[in-house]
Every structure is written in C-alpha cells, then in structure tokens.
C-alpha cells in the first residue's frame, strides 16, 4: 500500500478537513461513528417498533424528501415490506392514491426532515394531521434538535420525537435515525443490520483490502480520466436510487461532478461501472457505509467539499417566488425532443425530469422514453421524478458540469388539494416546483425542453 493511500485513509478517520478544501468538512463527519452509536440504541428502537406492531396498525407512511426518504425507500424495497409507504412527491394524484389504499385513521405517520423546515414534508404532515383527526399518537417525528418540526411535534404531542445527529448531512444519514427508525418499524433486526455496517467500518479503516478506498479511488481516477458517468448496477431494492443522491449532491458543484446513472450500460469512453454488493438484504447496511466512504474519497480527487450543497437553494427560492405571485404557475410545453437532442455534444448526458404521478404505468412510460432517448442520442440517460430529484440530483444539474440535456415532463395534476395553513395547495406547489427548476436551469445556461406527458 502506498504511503499516500495510508495517509489519506488516516486523515479521514482523524477528521482532517485538508483532505478536501479545508472548509467546514470536519463538522460533517459524524457518519463515521453513527453506526457505532446506533448499535447501542438498537434495542431501544426495536422496543418502540414492537410496541407499534402490537397495536395492529394497517400501515406506516414516511413523509420525507431526499436524505430522509431515499434510504428508507431502498430498505423497504430490499426487504420487500408492503405495509410501509414512502411519500416523497407533492403530486395530488399520488396523495389520493395513497389515501385510497390505506385507512388514514389507522396509520402511523413518520414526519422526517433534518432541517425541520422541508416544505414538502411539512405540507404532507399538516395535511395528514387534519385527515387523521389530529391523532397525536399516530405521529412520529425524526428531525435535528431545535428544529421547527421538533417544536411543532412537541407542541402537538407527537407520540415520539427521534433526534438526528447534527454532524451528519442528509445524504449521509442512512445509518442514523433517518434510516434506522423506519427500518425498525419495518420489522428489521437492527442489531444484525448494524453489525454488517460495523464490519464494513473496520474494513474501511484498513490499509490493505479497504473496499471503501478501492471504490472511491475508482470514482476519482475515472473522473480524472474523463469517465465521469457512474453506471450503477441494478439491484432488486433499487440501490441506485439512494446512491444517486449521495454521488450527485456530494460531487456535483463548481462545474465538476460525477453523474450517477443507475442501470446504464458502462460501454463508452465517458463511463465507469460500479456494482453494489448486496448479497442479501442485511448486507445493505455495509454497502451504505462503503459508498459513503467511497464518495468522501472521491471528493478528495475532485478537490471539492463533498458535504455541502451550494446550488440546491436556488430552486427552493425560485419556487417561493413563483408561489408568492399568487398566480397559476406556467408549465406550458417549450421546445421539443428533436430540438434538445440537436444540441448534444460528445460526453453529454440526457436527464428526464418527470413531474408526474410516480406509479407503475408512468414508470413504464418513462422507461420507454429513456430507451428512445438512449437509442437516438447514444448518450447516458438518467431520469427522476419531481420534486424528489430536486433533493437528490438537483445539485449536480445546476452546479455540476454543463453537460446535461434536461427534458422536463409534466402532466395535469388534477384537482387541487389544500394544504392546511398555506395559501396554496399541492397542485399549485408541484407546478411551481416544475416552473421554478426549469427557470433556474435556463438561468444557469443549461439546455432544456419541456413536453407534456401525452407527447411521450
């Protein structure tokens, strides 16, 4: 092992911010120790989950976005838990579909937001608080100490408030309460789950055979060689859905970035392949940590701070501007697929941003569109549902390299669903989010087009 490798691994474990940019990185390294802390709390969380299970609730619904929703969704899919639902869209039809599939008054709602101010999560929480008859014992909050959500949860007498670790950013929170409280409520054995993470931690301390280092060095060297598209192998649980945010939000800034591309072919001069090692569902915990460590290593090669997200706020601010006008957001079609692809250059990628209902039928329609775009362009094609992707790959789209061709797909969200305490409803909110992100991409000089779902 080279002295450089040994030194870099040691400096990360010593919390040395000079590994990256000497900014505030040392304040965001709590994820290195969190599995150890959470292993000590596994019994406590398991007892809470047993208590909930004994009540025979029909369903559990997680209300969260980005770092608060993606790990629970991948855990849910990997373990095949049908009674657990993750709501990370503001589309009114998705809300209606969820309500029709559960008994709202016999459901436990988990409101999860690190900042405690996430607009989508707070809107969902206020809506279901009213719909459930304000049953405080049917609500749980996961949030960082001192947040607005914590204050509201305590004022309303929520059943439980679980505190996050303030030294961990959202995309690094899979093995913190944001991932593990939901996992416990899914009936997963947390001790067994976290033991896999602890074994990976020990491997990621090693000078030889360090799987986090190997993957991170691959990411970094690949980027240096122009292979900036990370083609992530498919898993039954959709690991790439979580890895997308980790990679894109951590590395996509200052005109640099790795472009995560789950399920894409690695054949191409601008691509590299990364295979998630999820041999069984419980090994997922170790893989979460391996990829977190690897992306921290990659940040060293890109010479960026992997723990900030300087361009995420732009779309949020623009959304508020659109909403404050009080007018119906404009999301009319603009440009075309032909015009967008005509602007393609070697090394670009195409990104489909779908502000539509995330259901099975639309999954198939978007998959068909992705195949068509891939065939026509020869480029890597990524895709995501809005507003979910705003909390995942949105940082890369605005702060990363100007190599993206962005195709926004919109539909008619249907009738309005009011949000208690807000002058706007969910229909206007999702349309404002689509209009805002499109406007910000244009302001950043990105190549964009917008089509209606009927054109797909």
Task: Give the right CATH number for 313-455 from 3.40.1010.20, 2.30.110.10, 2.40.30.10, 3.40.50.10490.
Answer: 3.40.50.10490
* pLDDT score for 239: 98
- Rounded Cα gap, residues 233 and 264, in angstroms: 8
* pLDDT score for 19: 97
Tell which residue, 181, 183, 143, 140, has the closest CA to residue 164.
143
Rounded to whole angstroms, what are the CA distances from 44 to 41, 138, 220?
5, 19, 39
- Report the run of H or E that residue 260 belongs to, with start and end: strand 259-262
pTM (2 d.p.): 0.97
Token representation of residue 163? 């505190």
- Rounded Cα gap, residues 153 and 113, in angstroms: 12
Domain map of the chain by residue range? 8-17+208-279+286-302, 33-188, 313-455
Locate tokens 């898993």: which residue? 235
CB 73 within 8 A of CB 235: no
Q: How is 199-237 classified by DSSP, letter by letter?
A: HHHHHTT-SSS-HHHHHHHHHHHHHHTT--EEEEPP-TT
Q: What is the pLDDT of residues 254-293, one digit of tens each?
A: 999 999 999 999 999 999 999 999 999 999 999 999 999 9
Whether the domain at 33-188 and the domain at 313-455 fall into the same CATH topology: yes
- Rounded Cα gap, residues 110 and 453, in angstroms: 31
* pLDDT score for 116: 97
Name the CATH superfamily, with its identifier, for domain 33-188: Glucose-6-phosphate isomerase like protein; domain 1 (3.40.50.10490)
Burial of 55 (0-12, 13-18, 19+ CB in 10 A): exposed
Low-confidence ranges of the chain (pLDDT < 70): 1
- Report the run of H or E that residue 164 belongs to, with start and end: none
* pLDDT score for 4: 80
CB 220 within 8 A of CB 302: yes
């Amino acid at each position: 092992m080279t002295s450089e490798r040994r030194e870099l691994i040691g400096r990360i474990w010593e919390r040395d911010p000079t590994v990256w940019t000497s900014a505030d990185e040392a304040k965001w390294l709590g994820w290195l120790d969190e599995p150890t802390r959470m292993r000590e709390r596994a019994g406590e969380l398991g007892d809470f989950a047993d208590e909930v299970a004994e009540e025979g609730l029909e369903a559990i619904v997680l209300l969260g976005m980005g770092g608060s929703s993606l790990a629970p969704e991948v855990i849910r899919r990997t373990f095949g838990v049908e009674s657990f639902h993750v709501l990370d869209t503001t589309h009114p039809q998705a809300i209606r579909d969820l309500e029709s599939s559960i008994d709202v008054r016999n459901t436990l709602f988990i409101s999860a937001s690190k900042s405690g101010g996430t607009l989508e999560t707070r809107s969902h929480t206020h809506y279901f608080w009213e719909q459930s008859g304000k049953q405080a014992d049917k609500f749980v909050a996961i949030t960082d100490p001192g947040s607005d959500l914590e204050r509201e949860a305590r004022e309303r007498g929520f059943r439980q408030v679980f505190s996050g670790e303030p030294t961990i950013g959202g995309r690094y929170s899979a093995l913190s309460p944001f991932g593990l409280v939901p996992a416990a409520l899914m009936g997963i054995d947390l001790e067994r789950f976290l033991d896999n993470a602890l074994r990976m931690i020990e491997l990621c301390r090693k000078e030889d055979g360090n799987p986090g280092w190997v993957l991170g060095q691959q990411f970094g060297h690949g980027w240096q060689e122009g292979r900036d598209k990370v083609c992530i192998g498919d898993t039954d649980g959709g690991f790439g859905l979580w890895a997308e945010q980790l990679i894109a939000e951590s590395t996509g800034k200052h005109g640099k970035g790795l472009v995560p591309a789950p399920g894409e072919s690695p054949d191409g001069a601008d691509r590299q392949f990364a295979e998630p090692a999820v041999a069984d569902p419980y090994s997922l915990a170790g893989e979460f940590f391996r990829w977190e460590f690897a992306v921290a290593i990659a940040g060293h090669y890109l010479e960026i701070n992997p723990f900030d997200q300087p361009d995420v706020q732009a779309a949020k601010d623009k959304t508020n501007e659109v909403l404050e006008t009080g007018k119906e957001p404009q999301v009319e079609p603009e440009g075309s697929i032909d015009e967008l692809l005509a602007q393609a250059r070697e090394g670009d990628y195409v990104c489909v941003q779908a502000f539509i209902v995330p259901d099975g039928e639309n999954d198939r329609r978007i998959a068909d569109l992705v195949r068509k775009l891939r065939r026509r362009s020869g480029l890597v094609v990524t895709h995501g549902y809005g507003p979910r992707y705003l909390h995942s790959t949105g940082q890369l789209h605005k702060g990363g390299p100007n190599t993206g061709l962005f195709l926004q797909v919109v539909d008619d969200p249907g009738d309005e669903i009011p949000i208690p305490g807000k002058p706007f409803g969910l229909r206007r909110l999702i349309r404002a989010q689509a209009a805002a992100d499109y406007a910000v991409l244009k302001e950043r000089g990105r190549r964009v087009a917008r089509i209606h779902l009927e054109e797909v």
